């Protein structure tokens, strides 16, 4: 896709990739396994720039009308 | 003081912290502030939804109940004939069911300065619209004797959308390589080649040539420049978000389509989630109803949890359920039970519906916690008895 900067669009919240260590901490904190997290497909335009691979976790900081900011996590799946 | 706030960022949502900051008196000691924050954290935790609360059921009721009062008709756009938008209940059903092709696709195109102030707005709007040959040709004349087609071009119309003869000729040439083109006055003459001289061929070409694409973005059938607040924007019927966002004069941060699947493929699943919330909320507000946005957020989260949009239907969200009985209880029970028995599926009875069927306490509210005890080790004397 030429000259579309998805990142700047108002509907797209801030995405960032977690490191291995951060994933580990996240799973421990909430007592989860990876496949219990919500998913995001690897071809998603919003995470195109990260060069993601399967099992990566994407941290999403959303603007929320009720909480100001809310944090969400998605695990990368094939798609 | 900011250091203290920072410490509470994980415990309290940002909005609450900002509210506290705003309402604090100018001078306050650190100890007192800490006391306030502790108190707020306590109150906040009290207000959180209890574990085991059946939030989905509450959402369903909260959206469904005002849904009974919604209008069933579609609104007509003020001023312009034939531009109508699906609203009310049909629109909500369309979104929540995850329909891939929606009834009235639409884009709101915001423009960059100076175009947003109204510069050339009409011309821009028309340049976006998909134009076919029959819109700028006033008459198609078929000359059977010489196997020619004469196109009389409407020059006024041509000027208003900003194309000229060479462009048109090029467009025709691109899709009909066999034709010989010539220009005479305000008409273009097409001559069929020798081997296609048959009569029915001539009429076939005439029909086909009407659909020749001249300019604009494919899929956009109508354009409407309007003024919203202090700026101009273009509303289109038909969508092609990807192509629209590639245009230079378009504000790439605010332009949106009302097709959530399109948004998901161009901007990603998170944008689609936000779009679902916005679209449903817009409809509900338009009807003068009041539904807490948290319910919509929950529905949108559920629909987008798998990375692609899943409608709330037996093909979407319900299909993702782990339990056979829960799926069977929704729609087409026999199909689900047959398939489950064929592959030997196991139902772990972790959810509500299947437990209701089996007359067991449902894992909701006080039914959720189980009893956990430590099993005492067998005493030595008992072991010896066996």
Mean pLDDT for B181-194 is 74
Mean pLDDT for B122-142 is 81
For the residues of A17-69, what is the DSSP string, one character each?
A: EPPHHHHHHHHHHHT--GGGS-EEETT-GGGGGG---TT-EEEEEEEETTTEE
Residue A11 lies in a domain: yes
Residue A61 lies in a domain: yes
Q: Is the pLDDT of residue B230 over 70?
A: yes
Question: How far, in Å, CA of B222 to CA of B82, rounded?
Answer: 9
Q: Which residues of B353-385 are buried (b: 16+ CB within 10 A; e: fewer)?
A: bbbeeeeeeebeeeeeeeeeeeeeeeeeeeeee
Under an 8 A CB cutoff, do A4 and B305 touch?
no
Higher-confidence residue of B212 and A37: namely A37
| pLDDT at B238 (0 to 100) | 87
Under an 8 A CB cutoff, do B275 and A11 touch?
yes
The winner for highest mean pLDDT among B179-183, B193-197, B211-215 is B211-215
Mean pLDDT for A21-25 is 93
- pLDDT range class, residue B83, cuts 50, 70, 90: low
Question: How far, in Å, CA of B336 to CA of B314, rounded?
Answer: 11
Among the partner-chain residues B16, B271, B308, the one whose CB lies closest to the CB of A9 is B271
Mean pLDDT for B129-153 is 79
Residues of chain B with pLDDT > 90, as a percent, come to 20
Mean pLDDT for B184-212 is 74
> CB of A57 within 8 Å of any CB in chain B?
no
Q: Is the pLDDT of residue B269 over 90?
A: yes
User: Taking the domains of chain B in order of start, what are their residue ranges?
Assistant: 2-46, 49-104+258-319, 131-215, 321-366
CATH number at residue A36: 3.90.940.20
Under an 8 A CB cutoff, do A39 and B307 touch?
yes
Residue A1 lies in a domain: no
The CATH-assigned architecture of domain B131-215 is Alpha-Beta Complex (3.90)
pLDDT tens string B360-381: 888 888 888 878 787 777 777 7
Under an 8 A CB cutoff, do A79 and B246 touch?
no
Evaluate whether the domain defined by B321-366 bears CATH number 3.40.50.720: no
> CB of A38 within 8 Å of any CB in chain B?
yes
How many Cβ atoms from other residues are within 10 Å of residue B308's Cβ? 20
Domain holding A46, by residue range, is 6-77
Whether B131-215 shares its CATH topology with B321-366 is answered no
Among the partner-chain residues B270, B294, B297, the one whose CB lies closest to the CB of A12 is B270
Q: Provide the number of structural domains found in chain A.
A: 1
| pLDDT at B43 (0 to 100) | 93
Range in B169-173, B312-316, B339-343 with the lowest mean pLDDT = B169-173
> CB of A78 within 8 Å of any CB in chain B?
no
Higher-confidence residue of B190 and A48: namely A48
B92, B67 Cβ separation under 8 angstroms? yes
Mean pLDDT for B27-41 is 88
Q: Is the pLDDT of residue B10 over 90?
A: no
Range in A62-76, B20-34, B161-175, B223-237 with the lowest mean pLDDT = B161-175
Mean pLDDT for B260-270 is 92
Chain A residues in contact with B245 by the CB 8 A cut-off are 4
């Amino acid at each position: 896709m030429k000259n579309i900067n998805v990142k700047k669009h108002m509907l797209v919240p801030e995405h960032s990739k977690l490191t291995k260590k951060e994933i580990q901490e996240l799973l421990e904190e909430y007592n989860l396994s990876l496949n219990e997290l919500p998913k995001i497909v690897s071809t998603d335009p919003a995470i195109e720039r990260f060069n993601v691979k399967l099992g990566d976790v994407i941290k999403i900081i959303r603007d929320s009308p009720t909480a100001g900011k809310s944090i969400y996590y998605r695990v990368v799946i094939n798609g | 003081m900011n250091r203290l706030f920072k410490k509470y960022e994980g415990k309290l949502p940002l909005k609450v912290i900002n509210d506290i900051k705003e309402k604090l008196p100018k001078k306050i000691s650190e100890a007192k502030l800490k006391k306030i924050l502790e108190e707020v954290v306590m109150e906040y935790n009290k207000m959180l939804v209890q574990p085991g609360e059946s939030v989905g059921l509450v959402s369903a009721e909260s959206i469904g109940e005002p849904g009974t009062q919604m209008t069933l008709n579609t609104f007509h756009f003020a001023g312009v004939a034939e531009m109508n938008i699906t609203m009310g209940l049909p629109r909500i059903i369309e979104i929540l069911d995850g329909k891939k092709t929606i009834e009235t696709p639409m884009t709101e195109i915001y423009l960059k300065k100076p175009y947003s102030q109204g510069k050339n707005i009409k011309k821009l709007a028309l340049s976006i619209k998909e134009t076919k040959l029959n819109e700028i040709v006033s008459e198609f004349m078929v000359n059977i004797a010489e196997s020619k087609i004469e196109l009389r071009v409407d020059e006024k119309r041509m000027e208003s959308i900003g194309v000229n003869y060479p462009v048109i000729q090029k467009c025709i040439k691109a899709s009909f390589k066999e034709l010989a083109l010539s220009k005479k006055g305000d008409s273009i003459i097409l001559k069929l080649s020798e081997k296609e001289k048959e009569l029915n061929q001539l009429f076939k070409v005439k029909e086909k040539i009407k659909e020749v694409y001249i300019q604009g973005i494919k899929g956009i059938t109508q354009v409407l420049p309007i003024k919203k607040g202090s700026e101009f924007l273009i509303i289109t019927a038909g969508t092609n978000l990807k192509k629209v966002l590639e245009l230079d004069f378009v504000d790439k941060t605010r332009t949106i389509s009302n097709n959530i699947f399109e948004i998901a493929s161009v901007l990603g699943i998170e944008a689609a989630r936000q779009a679902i919330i916005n679209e449903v909320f817009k409809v509900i507000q338009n009807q003068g109803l009041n539904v807490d946005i948290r319910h919509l957020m929950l529905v949108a989260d559920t629909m987008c949890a798998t990375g692609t949009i899943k409608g709330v239907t037996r093909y979407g969200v319900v299909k993702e359920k782990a339990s056979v009985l829960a799926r069977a209880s929704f729609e087409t029970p026999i199909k689900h039970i047959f398939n489950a028995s064929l592959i030997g599926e196991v139902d772990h009875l972790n959810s509500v519906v299947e437990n209701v069927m089996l007359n067991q306490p449902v894992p909701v509210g006080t039914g959720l916690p189980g009893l956990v005890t430590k099993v005492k080790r067998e005493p030595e004397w008992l072991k010896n008895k066996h």
